[in-house]
Chain A
Amino acid sequence: MKHTPLSAVHEKMGARMVEFAGFAMPVQYTGIIEEHTAVRTKAGLFDLFHMGEFWLTGPDALKNVQKVVTQDAEALSDRQIAYTPMCRPDGSIVDDLLVYRWNAEKFLLVVNASNMKKDFDWIKSQLSGTYEFEDHSDRTGLIAIQGPNAQEILQKLTRQNLKAIKYYWFTTGKVNGVEMIISRTGYTGEDGFELYFPAEKSEMMWQALLEAGKDHGLVPVGLGARDTLRLEARLMLYGNDISDQTTPIEANLDWTVKFAKGPFNGSEVLKKQKEAGTTKTLVGFEMGKGPAPRHGYAIFSQGKNVGEVTSGTMSPTLQKNIGLGYVPPTLKAIDSTFEVEIRGKMYPAKVIPTPFYTRKKDK
């Protein structure tokens, strides 16, 4: 098992550790619900060293990015970020990632830890022309600070005007004396920042952020709450909600698929799906009191197995059972009902609008 530069720190702080994508990671410190609530109401700190950071540079960088992802990197301004799926020619999803545009010749791609090698090999196999493609995952530290107090806490450690960084934009500058990428992004549905810096500064940054946030309710947060936070905000988890078996159109990620930019990997198949419709579609649903829906549970309608739950949990914010799952398009309308099979019994579920949780903007 690999260790993040902070694994020992998490352990010392009393976190329960698990193996995730080959790394020793904290699943919780004090409790998932407590950590979840801290992020929704105050602030939480996440060690995300395990994520993959790839750099694609050179004269043909833009052309190559345009080919591998579904978003339009040409439409991005310099210092803007896009969330995007990356597809194969058959439309299936290799991974979802963030594309950071420095300029037309310099991009940072941030990919899921569990797909790092697959992604690197895939992207490499797709590149052409004049470019450089490098994996900097091992030397890049990544810490996220998320929650309504995130900006106030981070501002104590930097002279950069954080207010001026818009959602899904980034800047570079010093935080606590360390030069880094300051990105207004996250995986929680709250306002917040993700900070990329040299890995050896991880412990110093972690301690400095905790210290800066100690009077603002900042707590360290594990993978358990990261999952419940992202699910409430309907943010996709690769391997659950999207996978090698699904396309962005099926996952209702149409907004990330930019046909107008010209051909790209998967564009033909995705266009057909967009026009003719798909056989399955990802919906959000709620269930009554009782067992929670979970990844892999079967969805039934009129006695037939018609789909599958991809993610589910008791929502700490909404205090009810929520889930995502693939169903036939006939069941996609809000208020449609179906059953989820849990340990041999059927429990009713109802399609509801997503995201399940949306933060109030501008407090």
Chain B
Amino acid sequence: MVPSNCKYTKDHEWARLEGEKVVVGVTDFAAKQLGDIVFVDIPQLGTKVEAGKTMGVIESVKTVSDMYAPVSGKVVARNEAIEGDPALVNQDPFGKGWIAEIELANPAEFDRLMTPKEYEEHVATSGH
């Protein structure tokens, strides 16, 4: 599942442009690889995140994984629903399982992310 209205990172995050803001999350592929997600450490409101740098942590039963910011900017919304029910990220990674909203600092960064087609190819070569 690779929705056409998103762009992607090689680390399996997605980003969807909504005006000046970008909604971010992890892809279906990432959620499946992680397995049952039990905790998501979402950055606080106002946190400045930098493209390609750690913006949060996702824990499954078995593993702890960093989540990287697809774009630079300020965190302007957090999905508090996944703090109460982290399994939403497994169930609906592109919808109810979104993680945060970032106010875009540099629109060119968004343009440079992988297209759905590029990401599909990336997943295909990730060995699965």
Contact = CB atoms under 8 A, between A and B. Distances in A.
A27 B36 CA distance: 13
A222 to B, nearest CB: 10
Interface stretch (B19-27, B44-52, B56-64, B109-117): B56-64
- Chain B: number of interface residues, binned into ranges: 10 to 19
Contacts of A32: 35-36, 60-62
Contacts of B38: 292, 314
Nearest to A292: B59
A59 interface: no
Nearest to A345: B41
A240 B59 CA distance: 19
B57 A314 contact: no
B12 to A, nearest CB: 16
Contact of A313 (B41, B61, B83): B61
B64 A224 contact: no
A12 interface: no
Contacts of A228: 61
A82 to B, nearest CB: 31
Contacts, number: 37
Contacts of A313: 61
B61 A290 contact: no
Interface string A301-323: 00000000000011010000000
Interface residues of A, number: 18
Interface in A81-102: none
A32 B41 CA distance: 21
A314 B85 CA distance: 13
B119 interface: no
B41 A291 contact: yes
27 contacts: A27-B62, A28-B35, A28-B62, A32-B35, A32-B36, A32-B61, A32-B62, A33-B36, A33-B61, A34-B36, A224-B61, A227-B62, A289-B83, A290-B39, A291-B39, A291-B64, A292-B38, A292-B59, A294-B64, A313-B61, A314-B38, A314-B39, A314-B59, A314-B61, A316-B61, A343-B41, A343-B57
Interface of B: 35-36, 38-39, 41, 57, 59-62, 64, 83
Complex A-B, nearest 10 residue pairs according to Cβ-Cβ distance, in ascending order: A314-B38, A32-B61, A33-B36, A224-B62, A291-B39, A31-B36, A32-B36, A292-B59, A32-B35, A291-B59
